[in-house]
């Protein structure tokens, strides 16, 4: 996951674990640290951002097909088909994620900067941590509220705005359980990030890559699971029957 060089969950953890070193630092320093941007390898992160929509396109198609027909296929021919059908939606989704992330990160860093330049270190640390938790909860809320957006666009053919409205209405009653479900898989990695920063194990890139991979895969699987459940669509993967293979057997029998 090359995006870890410009999109690092570990960055803010490291900022808090080394708060004294960054207390009173200039805005640019705080932004680079909290964002996890690597000034020397940032170009790898840009490559990662370009590739992300392709990865989402493949993942959307693979998960949807697995649930719909009970077949998990990452063959080259299927990849081209998924890019053809899913790429524009994946691009919209990726760009939206990036813009929202940058807005939240900017709000986060602005408050960090103001607090470290106006309060004593103890108060600055405590209020910065509260602000971080509040923004984290807000991010989880947005991810949970819009989790059905992608499958709604792809399965109904509605425009982005209409699909978003329908997705929010359908998932409104499940927002809090979804927030909890999205948070749980990330907690062990966040704890490991704290340990890594305190002990200076220099595993930040590895931990970032693992956390982002887990988060992305889990989010996509969860969005389709929720979409199928809410809309009452039968899931062939739960039946453990590949309907395509069954159809082939019937043809041979005939």
Rounded mean pLDDT, 120-146: 95
More confident residue, 190 or 161: 161
Residue 254 included in any domain:
no
* pLDDT at residue 181 tops 60: yes
| Number of domains forming the structure of the chain | 1
pTM, to two decimals: 0.85
Residue 144 included in any domain:
yes
How high is the mean pLDDT of the chain? 86
pLDDT computed for residue 227 by the predictor? 95
More confident residue, 69 or 221: 221
Rounded mean pLDDT, 4-32: 86
Measured from the Cβ of residue 211, the count of other Cβ atoms closer than 10 Å reads: 22
- Compute CA 46 distance to the chain's CA centroid, rounded to the nearest angstrom: 17
Per-residue three-class SS string for 43-84: HHHHHHHHHHHHHHHHHHHHHHHHHHHCCCCCCHHHHHHHHH
**Distance set, CA 6 to CA 72, 151, 208, 251 (Å):** 31, 27, 11, 52
pLDDT tens across 42-96, in order? Answer: 777 788 888 889 889 989 988 998 888 877 777 666 777 777 888 999 999 999 9
Q: Rounded CA gap, 51 and 74, in Å? A: 17
Residue 73 sits in which domain range? 2-249
């Amino acid at each position: 996951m090359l995006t870890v060089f410009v999109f690092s969950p570990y960055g803010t953890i490291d900022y808090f674990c080394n708060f004294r070193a960054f207390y009173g630092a200039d805005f640019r320093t705080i932004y680079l640290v909290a964002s996890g941007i690597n000034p020397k390898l940032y170009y790898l992160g840009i490559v990662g951002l370009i590739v992300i929509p392709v990865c989402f396109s493949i993942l959307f198609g693979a998960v949807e097909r697995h649930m719909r027909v009970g077949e998990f296929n990452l063959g080259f021919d299927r990849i081209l088909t998924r890019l053809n059908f899913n790429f524009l939606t994946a691009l919209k989704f990726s760009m939206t994620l990036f813009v929202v992330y940058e807005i939240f990160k900017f709000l986060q860093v602005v408050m960090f900067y103001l607090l470290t330049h106006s309060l004593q270190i103890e108060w600055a640390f405590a209020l910065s941590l509260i602000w971080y938790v509040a923004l984290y909860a807000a991010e989880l809320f947005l991810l949970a509220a819009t989790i059905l957006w992608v499958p709604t666009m792809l399965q109904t053919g509605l425009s982005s705005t209409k699909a978003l409205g329908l997705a929010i209405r359908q998932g409104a009653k499940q927002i809090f359980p979804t927030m909890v479900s999205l948070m749980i898989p990330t907690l062990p990695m966040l704890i490991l990030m704290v340990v890594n920063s305190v002990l200076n194990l220099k595993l930040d890139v590895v931990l970032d890559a693992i956390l982002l991979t887990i988060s992305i895969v889990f989010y996509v699987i969860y969005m389709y699971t929720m979409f199928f459940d809410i809309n009452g669509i039968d899931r062939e993967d739960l039946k453990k029957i590949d309907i395509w293979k069954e159809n082939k057997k019937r043809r041979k029998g005939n």
